[in-house]
């Protein structure tokens, strides 16, 4: 294993100790793959900008919302779809769904590349971008979208 991978694996082991639901498991059996080297967590599937902007904060809020169920909770898939976060899971609670809904809404106004506030939503393949990372083409200004965010939704 490369030196960078060893450092990453060490960081990810600490992250998984704090948030056990980030451990990559087989979706059907729930087992960890033989030879899993900790160079990847479930959170790595989240687009980089969103991960930078709120990934760990979301995990912390989920951990609190899950309470005693945190060790049984499983992430099935994390991705972007139609310009917003999609977080599919198993073993959730109402409080955890509220956290996921909050960050799904927030993701619509955060650049998918860098985590800064988005100014444009591309059309076609729908994704939010800041001016710096906007790939060009047709877009809708974020200001024209009906995204109601409360201050506590975006505070660090």
Domain ranges in the chain are 45-154
pLDDT of residue 130: 97
Please list the pLDDT of the chain residue by residue as tens digits (156 residues).
788 889 999 999 999 999 999 999 998 888 999 999 999 999 999 999 999 999 999 999 999 999 999 999 999 999 999 999 999 999 899 999 999 999 999 999 999 999 999 999 999 899 999 999 999 999 999 988 766 555 555 554
pTM of the model: 0.89
- What dihedral angle (degrees, nearest 10) is formed by the CA atoms of 145, 102, 59, 66? -160
pLDDT of residue 107: 97
Residue 104 contacts residue 85 (beta carbons within 8 Å): yes
Q: How many other CB atoms are there within 10 angstroms of residue 31's CB atom?
A: 9
Structure-token pair, residue 4: 């960078």
Residue 149 contacts residue 134 (beta carbons within 8 Å): no
């Amino acid at each position: 294993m490369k030196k960078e991978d060893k450092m990453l694996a060490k960081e990810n082991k600490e992250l998984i100790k704090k948030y056990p639901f980030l451990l990559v498991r087989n979706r059907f059996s729930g087992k960890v793959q033989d030879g899993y080297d900790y160079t990847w967590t479930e959170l790595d599937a989240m687009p980089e900008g969103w991960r930078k902007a709120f990934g760990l904060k979301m995990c912390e809020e989920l951990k609190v919302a899950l309470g005693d169920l945190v060790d049984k909770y499983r992430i099935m898939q994390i991705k972007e779809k139609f310009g917003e976060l999609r977080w599919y899971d198993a073993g959730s609670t109402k409080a955890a769904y509220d956290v996921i809904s909050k960050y799904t809404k927030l993701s619509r106004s955060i650049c998918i590349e860098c985590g800064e506030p988005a100014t444009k939503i591309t059309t076609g393949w729908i994704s939010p971008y800041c001016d710096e990372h906007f790939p060009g083409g047709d877009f809708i200004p974020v200001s024209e979208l009906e995204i109601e965010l409360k201050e506590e939704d975006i505070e660090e």
